[in-house]
Structure 1
Amino acid sequence: MQASFRSSQSHVFPALIVALVVVGVTSIAVGQWQLGWLTSLQSLTPWHDNVEPHVLAIVQQVRLPRTLLCIFIGALLAVCGTLMQGLFRNPLADPGIIGVSGGASLGGALGLLLLSWGSIEASFVFSVPAFAFIGALLATLFVYRIGTTAMGSSVTIMLLAGIAISALSGAALGLINYVADNQTLRDIALWSMGSLTGATWGQIVLTGIAACLLTVFAYQRARHLNALLLGENEAAYLGIDVHHLKRLLIVVTAAGMGIAVSAAGLIGFVGLVIPHIGRLIAGPDHRTLVPLSAILGALLLTLADIVARVIVAPAELPVGIITALMGAPFFLWLLIQQRKAVVHE
């Protein structure tokens, strides 16, 4: 039985990679102008002389950057969620639910406001991620400090702290919206709902590097995360510096969330849903779960973006709305399962 399970695992990654390629090409092909698979593929190759110039511009300058940004941000959010759940040893931990996404969103919105005022002299790629990172880091540290005692981490306190941070972030965002000009107000409004429009190659490079580095970092510490699942004392007995590991995970997760939120806004529930799907497929071992989550996150967000562009075409919905519609029922199902487990105990 164990051999068959390992055999099935060996086919999961190739199948998901093929699925990601198929969904990626579909994302390039569909939209306000239906281009077709063959035309989309031809536009991505050096042999695109027969492709009309406007079609080539749509593929290479609009849809390809957007699809790549979807893939990288989906991977970032999923790996951040995996690290969060491993850090707090609870399946309900998520960057959005515990307020980290709210902190990153507030920081990024503040960066956009300062840029519009001319208060800072920096490019969009580097200034907004820095503000979003600071916001995510402060929110993560606050949740960790409030929810952790000598007895361990309290999920209830952690969730309540996340609610408080989300409420404060919402109030501060309202204040920023009040003082912002019309263009900045529109940018912040679309960005806070999660939007992948206007993807730039600078954002793609930044999120791509961040996604690769974060996935490698998480994979290298997969054994530490596995030991942490047993408990902090048990992990310490195994020779792991638990406090150093926690601080490192907090900073890295905050950096990943800051970059993701700065590039695409507030996209929720990806970091909550994907690790669970990964565990259902391959179990709790982080050596498999981390790369699997990265691929699944990229796949899910790309599918959500396709739905966002097609469901009300020729207009499009913010992708954060689609992920919320998919993730909220899943979160309710998790709460019901947790309630059943408590009742049976």
Structure 2
Amino acid sequence: MLLLAASIVLALSIGSAGFPFMKVWSILLHQLPWMADRPVAWTKLEEAIIVQVRLSRVMLAILVGACLALAGAGFQGVLRNPLADPYTLGVASGSSIGAAFLILFGLQTFIGMWSIPIIAFATGMMTLFAVFWLARSQGKMGIETLILSGVIVQAFLSAFVSYMVSLSQGVINEILFWLMGSLAKRNWGHVSMMLPFLLIGLPVLSYYSRSLNLFVLGERHAAHLGVRVERTKLIVLIVSTLLTAAAVSVSGVVGFVGLVVPHLVRLIVGPDYRLIVPISAIGGGIYVLWADTLARTILSPKEIQLGIVTAFIGAPFFAYLLKRRKAGLAKGG
């Protein structure tokens, strides 16, 4: 939490319009009700840059990262696979179809700024239920069948998204930029949209963390120990997908967060999901916050897409983790 707080202040201080560390603190403290009457040493424009532009983007980056990392922990726990991530069941591709469709036909604002988030969220959830329908047999969902169904649906939807990209002419860049993820041009309205999902998802996954610990023993052993296996799988998968769809609908496709962060947290605190779930939320927020800070500053005033930065950081890091794990297995670890 201290690292997250320090990251917020540092991220607010970094940008094309550089602000001293103390000025950022002073502006933030001035927003408190009992500090509002104090004399100020900054302009209204500087205050607007910190509070309306940067702070909203920083908070949104934290929420997106926390949701994706929580979803990753949920998927890895239910599927008993540390390589699982929020996009395993094709939710990202499903959300991408809704967004690409709106952009292709120029409908991005037919219900205001919420057009793409709402439609992307809806198509993401439709994808989840399609995967469940494919995977369910005699009232149960096997892990292998669920993963295979997700791979099939994701492959089909990815092809459909690519087809829409090939049809687009003047808006091809807009579609591709959304698919690469970004937090540019977002505001406090998007923060308000994301916050309820985190406030619901974190307690639910924390409640089921004990059951996720028992899943390591296998579904049959977990059932003998009192876990309602099918109900737990369904709830954790739905909540994890809700978190993923909410994040993707606002930020676009941002990869490797749900894959790398829970894996790193597991290396630090061990296999106990009672620790993995809450610490993944904090770690995911820090990860995406710094990735977004790099995205908007490393080539300032030009901005890199957030998904590119997370891939540049996440892919080599995860390759290192795999190499380390392989070496440990070779030595009998």
TM tier, smaller: 0.7 to 0.9
1:258 and 2:245 are equivalent in the alignment:
yes
**In 2, Cα distance between the equivalents of 1:319 and 1:344?**
38
Deviation at 1:233, TM superposition (A): 0.5
1:209-266 superposed Cα distances (whole Å, 9 cap, x missing partner): 2112111111111111111122111111122221111121222122111110011010
Q: How far apart are the structure 2 equivalents of 1:41 and 1:129?
A: 35
Q: Deviations over 1:105-128 (max 9, x none)?
A: 2233335556x348x963443763
Q: 1:279 and 1:144, CA in 2 relative to 1: closer, same or farther beyond 3 A?
A: farther
Q: RMSD between aligned alpha carbons?
A: 3.0
How far 1:333 moved relative to its partner?
3.5
Partner of 1:67: 58
Q: Which residue of 1 aligns with 2:290?
A: 303
**Which residue pairs with 1:134 in the alignment?**
123
| Residue number among 153, 178, 190 corresponding to 2:143 in the alignment | 153
Equivalent residue, structure 2, for 1:236: 223
In 1, the alpha carbon distance for the partners of 2:297 and 2:223 equals 50
Which 5+ residue runs of structure 2 have no aligned equivalent? 31-35
Deviation at 1:342, TM superposition (A): 7.4
Q: Please give the per-residue CA displacement for 1:88-121, whole angstroms capped at 9, x wherever unaligned.
A: 001011123553322222233335556x348x96
Structure 1 309/216 Cα, relative in aligned 2: closer, same or farther at 3 Å? Answer: same
Larger mean Cα displacement after TM superposition, 223-232 or 172-181: 172-181
Write the distance in 1 (CA, Å) between the matches of 2:169 and 2:187: 23
Aligned partners of 2:150, 2:254: CA distance in 1, in Å? 16
Does structure 1 retain, via aligned residues, the 8 Å contact 2:62–2:285?
Answer: yes
User: Which residue is 1:81 aligned to?
Assistant: 72
Q: Structure 1 residues 327, 141: closer, same or farther in 2, change over 3 A? A: farther
Does residue 33 (structure 1) correspond to residue 2 (structure 2)? The answer is no
- Matched with 2:163 is 175
8 Å CA contact retained: 1:129, 1:258: no
Name the residue aligned to 2:33.
Answer: none
| Residue identity opposite 1:67 in structure 2 | V
TM-score in terms of structure 2 length: 0.85
Instruction: Answer yes or no: is 1:202 the counterpart of 2:202.
Output: no
Is the Cα contact below 8 Å between 2:98 and 2:116 reproduced in 1? no
The amino acid across from 2:114 in the alignment is V
Who is 1:92 aligned against? 83
CA shift in 2, pair 1:58/1:253, >3 Å = same
Partner Cα distance (2:39, 2:96) in 1? 40
Distance 2:157 2:4 in 1: 34
User: Is the CA contact 1:177–1:185 (under 8 Å) kept in the aligned structure 2?
Assistant: yes
Partner SS for 1:259: helix
Contact 1:133 1:257 (8 Å CA) reproduced: no
Q: Given the superposition, is the C-alpha separation of residues 74 and 148 from structure 1 closer, same or farther in structure 2, using an over 3 Å criterion?
A: farther
**Which residue identity lines up with residue 117 of structure 2 in the other structure?**
V
> For this pair of structures, how many residues does the alignment match?
324
Instruction: Name stretches of at least 5 consecutive residues in structure 1 with no aligned partner.
Output: 1-16
Identity %: 32
Looking at structure 1, the residues matched to 255 and 39 of structure 2 have their Cα atoms a distance apart, in angstroms, of: 38
Partner of 1:226: 213
Q: Tell me which of 295, 301, 306 is aligned to 1:319.
A: 306
Which residue in 2 is equivalent to 1:43? 27
Taking the TM superposition and a 5 Å limit, the aligned residue runs for 1:275-294 are 275-294=262-281
| C-alpha distance 255-129 of structure 1, shift in aligned 2 (>3 A) | farther
Q: Which runs of 4+ in 1 moved over 6 A?
A: 147-151, 341-345
What letter is aligned with 1:174? S
1:273 counterpart residue number: 260
Q: Secondary structure at the match of 1:154?
A: helix
The range that moved more, 50-59 or 40-49, is: 40-49
CA shift at 1:36, angstroms?
1.8
Contact 1:133/1:259 (8 A) holds in 2: no
TM-score by length of 1: 0.83
Further displaced range: 146-155 or 93-102: 146-155
8 Å Cα contact 1:96-1:269 kept in structure 2: no
Q: Structure 1 227/144 Cα, relative in aligned 2: closer, same or farther at 3 Å?
A: farther
